Amino acid sequence: MKITLINPPITVEEIYGKYSDLASFQPPIGLCALAAYLIKHGYKEVKIIDANAMKFSVSDIVNNIIKDSPDLVGIYTNTSNYYAVSKLTSEIKKAKKSQKVVLGGPHPTFLPKDTIEETVADYCVIGEGEETLLELVQYIDTPLQHSNSEGLEKINGLVFRRSDSLIVINRPRKRIDDLDNLPFPAVHLLPQLSKYKLYLLHYKRLPYMTLITSRGCPHKCTFCETPFGKLVRFHSPDYVVDYIAYLANQFGVKELHFCDDTFTLDEKRVVAICDLIKKRNLDVTWYANVRANIKDRNIFKAMKGAGCWICAVGVESGDPEILHLIGKQITIEEIMATCDSVLKAGLILKSFFILGNPGETLETIEHSIRFAISLKAHYPVFSLMTPYPGAKLWETAEKYGTFDRTNFQKLKISTSDPVFIPFGMTKEILLKKQKEAFRRAYCNLGMVARQLAVIRSLDDIRKIAKAAYIFFKVEII
């Protein structure tokens, strides 16, 4: 049986807008995980089409599908690529009406009924996809079951359209408890890894690879939700470091991005991972996201000793009332202590802020700008609040402001087009304050000194010069 998994065509320009030259271009590691699980269970004819890395258009993908004639096509779907997925699915069905198509990812997980009603897909997978997708493949691979939907109704985590057009939403699937039972992602099915990169100033070496070493997030931020749910499960330190060694030895990977929702939730586990990286003499450098309430400040020394060189901290706001309102459950003091520990360990600090939160005013924005400057981060980032499906704010946004939820194409991670406007604010004010925030945070002697202090090579100079040019062109001119 042939299965083709697709990362749909959507360019960095479409996602990042005016910041596209600074943007990240990441591998579809979720598709690799699904492919590996299918291969482990005997389905060897699995193919991944990363339309972005391969520069495939919709017609290129359709032609490829016609040529290969897979039994099932699976497409990764999030809110920012939803319009592209809808178009791609429609074109696939026009070219081959009998082609079975399944959608999976955050968007169908949180809006399953809407997704299958608005597209011509046959199925949607909710939440973790490995077991559900395998059972769907097994169903399709059993011809006698094709004449009815009785088998489909037994597949937990599946949404499907019956032959009479009735949409059926099956029971949710239980989360996978032991992540170590999962095979390493099928990285070998990707195009050359040299096609992928992190943000311009956030990698030292190539090739690089994204890692997800845990699933789930227990926190209650109103603007965020994960398809993996609130229950957090971890790969063991041995599994993580075995995978790192596999990437380094088999693919020459030199740079890693730990993009777990809660990488530092279990601080002892992080230290254990670091100890194993050092013990095995793995030559890797890496980037990690950190929650701003670290208890063991020495964790950053351990991370640095194991190759970490940059940490990103989700601050969101410099105003205590805003932090409370968006459910961040951290304090200004915790943020300051965590960021200070990152810097004292000799790591580069990136700080994430959101402007245009519920309850936002000119005064609270001023608090955030001043706080951002005081943290002395190397790369403060000021995004605009965007409610996404699944998040609490998606349901309650109109309580705090105006929200355009009609155009999914605008719900992207670009920081240049606000779709949520808090009461008392306007789009023009938010864009003006965003530009002011970037200008004040970067155009000062302290920032210049920090950038000069981290230069270690001619390549560093080249990257900083390019970033500065783009920044001044976009934010200052």
Q: What percent of the chain has pLDDT over 90?
A: 78
Going by C-alpha positions, the residue among 454, 440, 359 that lies closest to residue 397 is: 359
pLDDT interval class at 339 (50, 70, 90): very high
pLDDT interval class at 434 (50, 70, 90): very high
Looking at this protein, which amino acid is placed at residue 236? S
Which pLDDT score, from 0 to 100, does residue 200 have?
79
Which pLDDT score, from 0 to 100, does residue 414 have?
47
> Taking residues 223-234, what's their average pLDDT?
91
Alpha-carbon distance of 228 to 390, in angstroms, equals: 11
- Grouping H, G, I as helix, E, B as strand and the rest as coil, residue 75 is strand
Going by C-alpha positions, the residue among 285, 295, 298, 105 that lies closest to residue 198 is: 285
Q: How far is CA 398 from CA 300, 358, 359, 393, 401, in A?
A: 40, 10, 12, 9, 5
Q: What is the residue whose two structure tokens read 């355009």?
A: 404
Across 16-20, 112-116, 196-200, 285-289, least confident range: 16-20
pLDDT in tens, 297-317: 899 999 999 999 999 999 999
DSSP line for 31-54: HHHHHHHHHHTT--EEEEEETTTT
pLDDT in tens, 67-100: 999 999 999 999 989 989 999 999 999 999 999 9
pLDDT in tens, 154-171: 999 999 988 778 999 999
Is residue 199 over pLDDT 90? Answer: no
- Work out the end-to-end distance of the chain between its first and last CA atoms, rounded to an integer number of angstroms: 56
Which pLDDT score, from 0 to 100, does residue 11 have?
63
Which pLDDT score, from 0 to 100, does residue 20 have?
65
pTM above 0.75, yes or no: yes
278 close to 307: Cβ distance less than 8 angstroms: no
Q: How far is CA 210 from CA 40, 47, 156, 257, 258, in A?
A: 21, 19, 29, 5, 6
Is residue 58 over pLDDT 90? Answer: yes
> Taking residues 28-50, what's their average pLDDT?
97
Is residue 22 over pLDDT 80? Answer: no
Is residue 103 over pLDDT 90? Answer: yes
Is residue 392 over pLDDT 90? Answer: yes
Alpha-carbon distance of 316 to 261, in angstroms, equals: 15
134 close to 38: Cβ distance less than 8 angstroms: yes
pLDDT interval class at 285 (50, 70, 90): very high
Considering the chain, what is the average pLDDT of its residues? 92
- List the Cα angle 442/344/304 in 5-degree steps: 100
Is residue 19 over pLDDT 70? Answer: no
> Taking residues 263-281, what's their average pLDDT?
97
> Taking residues 274-284, what's their average pLDDT?
98
Structural domains of the chain, with CATH: 2-169 (3.40.50.280), 197-476 (3.80.30.20)
Is residue 471 over pLDDT 80? Answer: no
Across 166-170, 393-397, 473-477, least confident range: 473-477
> Taking residues 128-134, what's their average pLDDT?
97
Which pLDDT score, from 0 to 100, does residue 144 have?
63
- List the Cα angle 327/331/335 in 5-degree steps: 110
> Taking residues 261-287, what's their average pLDDT?
96
Residue 396: alpha-carbon gap to chain centroid: 23
Which pLDDT score, from 0 to 100, does residue 28 have?
95
Own/partner pairs, 457-466, CB within 8 angstroms, 24+ separation: 463/200, 463/201, 464/201, 466/21, 466/200
- List the Cα angle 232/233/238 in 5-degree steps: 140
pLDDT in tens, 357-379: 999 999 999 999 999 999 999 99
pLDDT interval class at 474 (50, 70, 90): low
Is residue 271 over pLDDT 80? Answer: yes
Which pLDDT score, from 0 to 100, does residue 155 have?
96
pLDDT interval class at 15 (50, 70, 90): low
Is residue 12 over pLDDT 90? Answer: no
Is residue 145 over pLDDT 60? Answer: no
Which pLDDT score, from 0 to 100, does residue 147 have?
53
